Amino acid sequence: MFGANPYKEAPQVAASLSPDYPQFTPVLLPEGSNAESAWIGEVQPFVSDEVARAFLRQIEKGSQIWVAAGRIRDEKPIRQSHWADPLLVGMNIRCRLLILIQPLPAHPRAYLLNPLFAEHYVATHPHPRFDQMISWDGKKVPGLCIYSASEFRYDPARERRSQFLEQVTLYIARHLIWLKTRRLCRGYPPHGVPLRPLMPGEILISDRPVQVQQAVAEGKPTWDYWAGYWPGPTAAAFNPETHLKKIKPHEECWCGSGVPYGSCHRPADVIQQNLSSR
């Protein structure tokens, strides 16, 4: 007869992830996941290097950016030069994503499968979700920190998954800029000293951090690692202080649980802030 089916029940899956993102198709849930459904599809934020360069300026200015079906809209040609322009070549990268729909009210989770968001980015990248790590194809893949309640709020009048996928596309766009603007740094992230930049179009064989000196006493080890430029208003790392300042208790928590801040991470943030202000 047949072998035991590891998937006890076929998940009840909607016909599409979002009407605005028909390129996503359902897949089996990764092992150990408590998601309701899993979807794979591609986004390609930039159709050309020019679109990437225009996006960089817009995001730095804080202008509204238009996204449709995982693509950023082309804007009028740019005039002033930007230090990152020469590095932003080969930007028309198609990015393969895994989206895990969580039981409501939690937000979906997003994973970048290709180009792979590597496990070691939890140490060198500004916006990973190491608490949302999954196993995929024998590799550990951290989640992407898409949602920041202090920067973005869902429009209740619009379909939520479409808005989430727009945010994913904007994250991927910034991530591609981060990848292309990386510098080899020595020290402990994020405080290493730059040794050399990535050359335009240079492909790294490995971007895994390399330890060059062990930690001494209470200090941190010294690594050689690659880290880039993360453009736009989420550039600052958030901490309990900024969360407490920016998110009201009745508003959604920053963590993506979909629960009000006051009954989710706020009590822990208050404790942390009290500890660090001592």
Taking the complex as a whole, the smallest distance from the CB of residue 16 to Zn ion amounts, in Å, to 29
Taking the complex as a whole, the smallest distance from the CB of residue 161 to Zn ion amounts, in Å, to 20
Q: Which is nearer to Zn ion, 166 or 269 (CB)?
A: 269
Please give the helix or strand (H or E) that residue 92 lies within, else none.
none
Q: Which is nearer to Zn ion, 101 or 264 (CB)?
A: 264
The reply on whether position 52 binds Zn ion by CB under 5 A is no
The reply on whether position 255 binds Zn ion by CB under 5 A is yes
Q: How far apart are CA 70 and CA 221, in angstroms?
A: 39
Residue 44 one-letter amino acid:
Q
Q: How far apart are CA 221 and CA 213, in angstroms?
A: 6
Taking the complex as a whole, the smallest distance from the CB of residue 269 to Zn ion amounts, in Å, to 9
User: How many chain residues are in contact with Zn ion, going by CB under 5 A?
Assistant: 5
The reply on whether position 51 binds Zn ion by CB under 5 A is no
- Bridge partners for 68 per DSSP: 71
What is the strand order of the sheet 193-197 is part of? Answer: 193-197, 183-187, 222-227, 210-213
**What sign does the CA torsion over 48, 51, 57, 59 have?**
negative
The reply on whether position 145 binds Zn ion by CB under 5 A is no
Stretch that binds Zn ion, among 34-42, 152-160, 195-203, 263-271 (CB under 5 A): 263-271
Taking the complex as a whole, the smallest distance from the CB of residue 149 to Zn ion amounts, in Å, to 9
Q: Using an 8 Å Cβ cutoff, are 97 and 111 in contact?
A: yes
Q: Using an 8 Å Cβ cutoff, are 172 and 112 in contact?
A: yes
Q: Which is nearer to Zn ion, 142 or 256 (CB)?
A: 256
Stretch that binds Zn ion, among 8-16, 172-180, 208-216, 250-258 (CB under 5 A): 250-258
Buried b (16+ CB within 10 A) or exposed e, 107-137: bbbbbbbeeebbebbbbbbbbbbeebebeee
Q: Using an 8 Å Cβ cutoff, are 171 and 146 in contact?
A: yes
Question: Which string of x and - marks every residue 200-239 that binds Zn ion (by CB under 5 A)?
Answer: ----------------------------------------
Q: Using an 8 Å Cβ cutoff, are 96 and 107 in contact?
A: no
The reply on whether position 272 binds Zn ion by CB under 5 A is no
In the list 16, 163, 242, 257, the residue contacting Zn ion (rule: CB under 5 A) is: 257
Taking the complex as a whole, the smallest distance from the CB of residue 258 to Zn ion amounts, in Å, to 9
In the list 56, 170, 247, 264, the residue contacting Zn ion (rule: CB under 5 A) is: 264
Please give the helix or strand (H or E) that residue 28 lies within, else none.
none
Q: Which is nearer to Zn ion, 197 or 249 (CB)?
A: 249
As to burial, measured by CB atoms within 10 angstroms (0-12 exposed, 13-18 middle, 19+ buried), residue 47 is middle
The reply on whether position 265 binds Zn ion by CB under 5 A is yes
In the list 118, 177, 179, 253, the residue contacting Zn ion (rule: CB under 5 A) is: 253
Binding site for Zn ion (CB under 5 A): 253, 255, 257, 264-265
